[in-house]
A and B are shown apart, each in its own frame.
Chain A
């Protein structure tokens, strides 16, 4: 159940996350504004690496650890989508 509307890239990323992590959750069930880690979707840092790898394969850019915005980037599906939109090369 999602109260907030989902934009196309968010939906695409949700599918990518569900596929990369083999989640039981359906992509459309991921609330774009809910935290991805801990209390939200319950992801951990290993999942974060898998997501980072999947994103670099699909969108052609690397997520780097020295990016101080990492906490914000991984805060929610929406934040992640915004970051991907800005840096994608394909």
Chain B
């Protein structure tokens, strides 16, 4: 790492600390009151490509032409989850109501000492898991993220939740899978998001909200190699400080036939996308991929990013 990147990270970490101190000093209510003007600012200043991408998604999820109200709502829900993430990460979950659905299945496995892979998406806020982890989760939870995001998440944890710093497993290193396997062998949870990947990753085009969209092959390949059961999880925003944390069975085991691996992978990716599609239709404003998800527009898409830099720093993959 160069001195420059080190310095940049120190700088953003200081900004992060300042921001969170401000929010904590003001309290959630004041922070929340600021979200509407902040949302308006980001809606009005969104780059054209982002605006087009957001509208394209909303049209598919809503099944009608979206109005400005819909666009605002999507950005607003995203802003809400960003504010909540700060509070949840810091363990300040008083005042939050989280309805947990489907925990029994996960709990049964964990109590039997079986490791579980949790597969989520950029849908809602997965920091809601934190509430659970803080409550009485008996095992370690380790998020798996791409290198760049892993560094940012580590910075975030360092600032807000030092006990969890170092829990992130960075993807793409020789020992990545060894780490994941050891966590699962200890009966722990590894969590990752299956809807986005950096450029250069292997993608599979599968049906999603009416057209083929690229989904990463990585998560399903990883689950195959690790051989642990896979459950889906989503922390859906249902209202101010109100979340629904869903756990759903996905695969007892993802096992890919070597003879026809690409087809088998595409099948799992399609199953994942189908479930995601149903949730997008039911909770359309929880979708936080603010880029040309289907790759349907001519000009080169910007790198997948959240609508503001601070949010991007906090957005895990």
Is B210 interfacial (CB-CB < 8 Å)? no
Q: Are B225 and A50 in contact (CB under 8 A)?
A: yes
B175 cross-chain contacts in A, Cβ below 8 A: 45, 48, 65, 67, 70-71, 74
Centre residue among A45, A63, A64, A74 by max chain B CB count within 10 A: A45
Binding site for A on B (CB under 8 A): 171-179, 181-182, 221-222, 225-226, 258
Given contacts A22-B258, A65-B182, contact A46 B225 (CB under 8 A): yes
Report the count of interface residues on A (CB-CB < 8 A). Answer: 17
Q: Are A48 and B178 in contact (CB under 8 A)?
A: yes
A45-B177, A49-B226 given; 16 more Cβ-contact pairs under 8 Å: A37-B174, A45-B173, A45-B174, A46-B177, A46-B221, A46-B225, A48-B176, A48-B177, A48-B178, A49-B181, A49-B225, A63-B178, A65-B178, A65-B182, A67-B175, A73-B174
Binding site for B on A (CB under 8 A): 22, 37, 44-46, 48-50, 52, 63-65, 67, 70-71, 73-74
A52 cross-chain contacts in B, Cβ below 8 A: 177-178
Alpha-carbon separation in the docked complex, A1 to B314 (Å): 47
- CB closest residue in chain B, given A68: B175
Alpha-carbon separation in the docked complex, A65 to B186 (Å): 13
B174 cross-chain contacts in A, Cβ below 8 A: 37, 45, 48, 70-71, 73-74
Alpha-carbon separation in the docked complex, A74 to B182 (Å): 18
What would 7 A/B residue contacts be, using CB atoms closer than 8 Å? A44-B172, A45-B173, A45-B175, A46-B225, A48-B176, A49-B178, A70-B173
Alpha-carbon separation in the docked complex, A74 to B226 (Å): 20
Q: Are A46 and B222 in contact (CB under 8 A)?
A: yes
A71 cross-chain contacts in B, Cβ below 8 A: 173-175
- CB closest residue in chain A, given B178: A65
B171 cross-chain contacts in A, Cβ below 8 A: 45
Alpha-carbon separation in the docked complex, A49 to B179 (Å): 10
Centre residue among B179, B221, B222 by max chain A CB count within 10 A: B179
Q: Are A45 and B172 in contact (CB under 8 A)?
A: yes
Taking the nearest CB of chain A, how far is it from the CB of B252, in angstroms? Answer: 20
